Amino acid sequence: MKGILKIYHPEETLKYFIRNTYCKSVYLNAQNFLEVEIITDDSLDHVDDDSLQYKFPQLSINVSEFPIAGQELEGKQFQVEDSDEDTYTEVDLYDDEEAFVYDNDLSFSNNEKGELELYWKGNITDFYTGSEEPIPFKLKCNFRQDEIEVDD
């Protein structure tokens, strides 16, 4: 498991385990940009059958082409907000529903093993019940290289 995403819905706290993570500072046209992709696991073993999460077993949250100063991410904090002119975030529910994230606060640090970690908190559209009020979420993940085992 690469991390965990918790969505604090008023009816229940929804827990998503993170399967894939991707993070990079990209240098393009004399500017650095932040690229982050978080994909949750679609396993529902830990979810009750009547949970709100059961309808949405997997989702992904992305930040792309967000301008940053410098290539180094460790120790940095970013406030990522979309505007009418620029869209940096995307939520994919693997469904016809739409969702958006707001008030995004991304903090990067290295853990004791020297691996980059992300703490992301913000608000997300209530795609579970359709309420007008966004609901808070917190995400913690690492960007450790996966070890691929090959059988001889």
Specify whether the CB–CB gap between 106 and 118 falls below 8 A.
Answer: yes
One-character DSSP codes across 61-115: EEEEEEEESSS--TT-EEEE---SS---EEEE-SSS----EEEEEEEEEE-TTS-
Q: Is 122 helix (H, G, I), strand (E, B) or coil?
A: strand
- Please, are residues 64 and 23 in contact by the beta-carbon 8 Å criterion? no
Residue 38 has pLDDT above 90, yes or no: yes
DSSP state of 145: P
Confidence at residue 106, expressed as pLDDT on a 0 to 100 scale: 97
Q: What is the mean pLDDT of the chain?
A: 88
Block residue for tokens 């989702």: 59
pTM of the model: 0.86
DSSP-assigned states of every residue in 23-39: EEEEEETTEEEEEEEEE
Residue 125: pLDDT band by 50, 70, 90 thresholds?
Answer: very high
- Domain ranges across the chain: 3-142
pLDDT value for 53: 67
